[in-house]
């Protein structure tokens, strides 16, 4: 049987095709219920499906191992009956998936057959990881989203090197169950989590509240996609200071016009006086490579309440205002951190109306200062950047019909999300629709054959002479590059590892990509 690239991605993501990770089809896996309470030190394997029946807790001294390809589902419920996976302080989660065999966390009613609409939200709780790293809360605190009578939900300490385990190739979907009015669980919560924790290639899809939120701590996240969430995509506060974040991709629900900001970034979100007297540590994380696809008319990033941070290499699209820096709080606001040099912005392109805005009245020439800073540090509006940032879905909401192409040479791009993520499985990436902002686009029919390829050369037709060619594997690593020199160009694939690859091409200001398989 021969699959199209999109269908193959969907089948791999949902577990229907599973030979690559030696897991049975999802429909054939027995169901095991994990009752509320402590997990003990145990291993979840991909030959079963696991149901979280309430708050399931990895307690101090316990280690929960989740093997590649495993599916964990949250039972239906809200309030105290919501289902969530909580890793308590001094507990560990070892969820180490692979690109071929990601770990999926979703809700009990999700058949994982591609039939759930992209915007299904609030069906279970989410993943909460608690650590011993420093915050500016002034001592241990109870994490947001978990009822105060739960004594397993305390976070914060003095160890910024604390290790809560591993999250790698993990997709968290359709969460954010309501505990009460305006009180939902984030998709993934990192509260006081230390830098010893490894987080790489994670995805949060359609959470009712925020996608990924950091409450203090020093953990860093590399390759994170947050899509279609009901509130903010990324959120940090309480002195978050992870210093090695790379490739964050925020995609808001454009078709449904749902979602607040790509990032709501605070130094402290507390109004109850529990913040330490000197407000230390300040929130000064580092993020390199950040793409935000907005819903139109809103903000990309809001920096306030004493937040600093060092953000570089960004693309913020479909917004009215790229970045707003507030100057409203005493004694500290984001503008004060900028003056102190703890807030820096560099090489950020905004597709919208305004790149960088001052919001306050404490400094008469605040706007002028930030405008001069933006010009000096390449924080600019460029509505001609060759990036396809508009998308749409079919009537069922299960497959994208107008797709994104975020590989524009800036920001996070999307290549690292191919092959394992929900977003790729629903055909969101590819730029197959009309590019949104590229003037005078030449419609080019690009053909790859044979595909799949057993041995020898991949042939490419339909590109003009001089077009650039780059091949990436499914982890985003470049394996070959060249230029089109003849009408039918070739890529030498003999000896390559079996699996899926992405051909990225650039011609006349347009960037595209197509998948091919080496067998």
Contacts of 497 (CB under 8 A, 6+ apart): 473, 518
**Helix locations, 292-449, DSSP H:** 334-339, 366-376, 422-425
**Each residue of 395-421: pLDDT tens digit?**
999 999 889 999 888 999 999 999 899
The answer to whether the CB of 309 falls within 8 A of the CB of 287 is yes
Backbone φ and ψ for 415, nearest 5 degrees, come out as -60, -35
What pLDDT score was predicted for residue 151?
77
What pLDDT score was predicted for residue 17?
33
What pLDDT score was predicted for residue 416?
94
What pLDDT score was predicted for residue 442?
35
| Unique residue bearing structure tokens 């693309």 | 315
* CA 122 – CA 498 distance, rounded (Å): 38
* CA 138 – CA 279 distance, rounded (Å): 8
Contacts of 234 (CB under 8 A, 6+ apart): 210, 211, 212, 213, 224, 226, 248, 250, 262, 263, 264, 265
* CA 104 – CA 423 distance, rounded (Å): 13
The two structure tokens encoding residue 482: 């060249």
Backbone φ and ψ for 85, nearest 5 degrees, come out as -110, 120
Q: Which domains does the chain have, with CATH numbers?
A: 5-381 (2.160.20), 440-519 (2.60.40.1220)
A 10 A CB-CB count for 332 gives: 18
For 456, the 3-state DSSP assignment is coil
Backbone φ and ψ for 56, nearest 5 degrees, come out as -100, 125
What pLDDT score was predicted for residue 438?
32
The DSSP letter of residue 418 is T
The answer to whether the CB of 185 falls within 8 A of the CB of 127 is no
**Each residue of 92-102: pLDDT tens digit?**
999 999 998 99
What pLDDT score was predicted for residue 508?
64
**Helix locations, 377-505, DSSP H:** 422-425
Give the residue ranges of the chain where pLDDT is below 50. 1-20, 272, 432-444
What pLDDT score was predicted for residue 509?
61
């Amino acid at each position: 049987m021969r699959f199209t690239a999109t269908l193959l991605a969907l089948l791999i993501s949902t577990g229907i095709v599973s030979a690559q990770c030696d897991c049975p089809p999802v429909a054939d896996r027995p169901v095991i219920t994990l009752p509320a309470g402590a997990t003990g030190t145990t291993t979840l394997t991909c030959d079963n499906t696991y149901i979280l029946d309430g708050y399931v807790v990895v307690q101090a001294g316990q280690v929960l191992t989740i093997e590649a390809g495993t599916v964990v589902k949250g039972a239906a419920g809200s309030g105290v009956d919501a289902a969530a996976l909580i890793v308590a302080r001094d507990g560990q989660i070892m969820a180490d998936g692979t690109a071929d065999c990601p770990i999926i966390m979703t809700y009990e009613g999700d058949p994982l057959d591609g039939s759930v609409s992209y915007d299904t939200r609030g069906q279970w709780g989410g993943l909460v990881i608690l650590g011993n790293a420093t915050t500016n809360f002034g001592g241990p605190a109870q994490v947001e989203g978990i009822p105060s009578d739960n004594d397993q939900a305390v976070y914060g300490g003095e160890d910024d090197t604390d290790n809560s385990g591993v999250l790698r190739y993990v997709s968290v979907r359709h969460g954010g169950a309501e505990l009460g009015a305006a009180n939902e669980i984030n998709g993934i919560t990192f509260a006081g989590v230390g830098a010893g924790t490894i987080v790489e290639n994670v995805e949060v899809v359609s959470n009712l509240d925020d996608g990924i939120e950091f409450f203090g701590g020093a953990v860093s996240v590399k390759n994170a996609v947050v899509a279609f969430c009901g509130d903010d995509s990324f959120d940090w506060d309480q002195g978050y200071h992870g210093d090695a974040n790379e490739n964050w991709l925020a995609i808001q629900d454009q078709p449904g016009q749902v979602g607040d900001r790509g990032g709501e970034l605070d130094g402290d979100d507390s109004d109850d006086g529990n913040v330490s007297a000197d407000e230390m540590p300040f929130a000064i994380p580092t993020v390199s490579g950040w793409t935000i696809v907005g819903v139109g008319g809103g903000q990309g990033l809001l920096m306030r309440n004493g937040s600093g941070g060092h953000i570089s290499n960004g693309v913020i699209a479909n917004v009215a205002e790229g970045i707003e820096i507030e100057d409203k709080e005493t004694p500290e606001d984001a503008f004060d951190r900028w003056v102190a040099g703890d807030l820096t912005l560099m090489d950020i392109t905004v597709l919208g109306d305004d790149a960088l805005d001052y919001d306050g009245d404490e400094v008469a020439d605040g706007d002028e200062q930030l405008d001069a800073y933006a010009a000096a540090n390449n924080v600019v509006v460029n509505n001609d950047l060759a990036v396809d940032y508009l998308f749409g879905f079919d009537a069922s909401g299960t497959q994208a019909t107008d797709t994104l192409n975020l590989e524009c040479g800036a920001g996070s791009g999307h290549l690292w999300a191919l092959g394992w993520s929900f977003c790729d499985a629903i055909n969101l990436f590819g730029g197959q629709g009309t590019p949104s902002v590229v003037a005078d686009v030449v419609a080019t029919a690009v053909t790859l054959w044979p595909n799949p390829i057993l041995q020898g050369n991949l042939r490419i037709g339909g590109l003009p002479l001089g077009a650039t060619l780059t091949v990436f594997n499914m982890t985003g690593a470049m394996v070959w590059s060249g230029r089109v020199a003849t009408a039918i160009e070739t890529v030498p694939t003999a000896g390559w590892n079996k699996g899926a690859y992405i051909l990225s091409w650039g011609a006349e200001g347009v960037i595209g990509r197509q998948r091919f398989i080496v067998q």
